[in-house]
Amino acid sequence: MKKTFSVNGAARTLGIGRTKLYELLHAQKLTSIRIGRRRLVLAESIDKLIEAARVEEGR
């Protein structure tokens, strides 16, 4: 399994646009790292976001 996704790849994986992805990063609901000029979204944070949405939906 991949450990990181590009911004475009993370947005595609979540089915959202880049703008919404950057909003989630700014709100600290997703975690990213920078390597050089690239921003990579941690796959673990995507999994946590999905799990949190499932819990929220199950209320």
Residue 1: the pLDDT is: 80
Contact, 30 vs 45, CB < 8 A?
Answer: yes
Q: Is the pLDDT of residue 56 over 90?
A: no
Residue 52: the pLDDT is: 94
What tens digit of pLDDT does each residue of 34-48 get?
999 999 999 999 999
Q: What is the mean pLDDT of the chain?
A: 96
d(CA 7, CA 38): 9
Residue 45: the pLDDT is: 98
Q: Is the pLDDT of residue 59 over 90?
A: no
Average pLDDT over residues 3-9: 98
Local structure of 2: helix, strand or coil: coil
One-letter identity of residue 32: S
